[in-house]
């Protein structure tokens, strides 16, 4: 890609730029196709819905984190003057999202002080936001909180005598 960019900038006519755009399309097309096959749009939709739901719940699900990019932009606008680190809203993150539109699981990177009960108390809100009949939170093997959404398999009823 660097070679094509150098060729495009050194060319005096518009043909170099056309060649650069063509090369970028040839590289980007298969990459976008592969990302689509791997479920990129599903993962993006789940992450966006998660963030919006956490924002709506506020309280224990909304926090702050440093926004270094905004700080750099503000520093450039103020012509090099000191700009304190900007802050932005943050939400617990979803990792390892697996599944499809009907049934999926993910792991929640929770914050210190949060428990599974905090999440299970709002399971109905998450189920409504994700358009799923059931949403449940439990402890994953790696210590994170796991979310399961969709029709969950239930064991058959066990009849017992007292």
**pLDDT tens readout for residues 93-104:** 999 999 888 899
Average pLDDT over residues 107-117: 87
- The answer on 5 and 45 residing in a single domain is no
Domain that holds residue 19: 1-38
Percent residues over pLDDT 90 in the chain? 28
H/E element, 146? strand 145-149
24-33, 65-74, 120-129, 150-159, range with the lowest pLDDT? 150-159
Alpha-carbon distance of 51 to 95, in angstroms, equals 13
**pLDDT tens readout for residues 114-136:** 888 989 999 999 999 999 999 99
Exposed / middle / buried, residue 2 (Cβ in 10 Å: 0-12, 13-18, 19+): exposed
- The answer on 33 and 43 residing in a single domain is no
- The answer on 130 and 55 residing in a single domain is yes
User: Could you tell me if residue 95 is inside a domain?
Assistant: yes
Beta bridge partners of 108: 94, 145
- The answer on 46 and 34 residing in a single domain is no
- The answer on 109 and 43 residing in a single domain is yes
State residue 152's pLDDT score: 66
């Amino acid at each position: 890609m660097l070679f094509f960019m150098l060729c495009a900038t050194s060319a005096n006519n518009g043909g170099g730029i056309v060649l650069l755009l063509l090369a970028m399309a040839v590289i980007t097309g298969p990459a976008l196709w592969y990302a689509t096959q791997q479920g990129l749009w599903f993962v993006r939709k789940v992450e966006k819905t998660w963030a919006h739901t956490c924002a709506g719940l506020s309280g224990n699900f909304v926090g702050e984190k440093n926004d270094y990019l905004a700080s750099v932009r503000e520093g450039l606008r103020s012509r090099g003057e000191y700009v304190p680190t900007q802050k932005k809203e943050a939400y617990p993150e979803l990792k390892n999202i697996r599944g499809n539109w009907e049934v999926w699981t993910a792991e929640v990177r929770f914050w210190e002080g949060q428990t599974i009960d905090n999440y299970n108390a709002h399971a109905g809100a998450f189920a409504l936001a994700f358009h799923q009949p059931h949403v449940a939170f439990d402890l994953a093997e790696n210590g994170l909180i796991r979310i399961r959404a969709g029709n969950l398999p239930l064991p058959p009823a066990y009849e017992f005598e007292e």
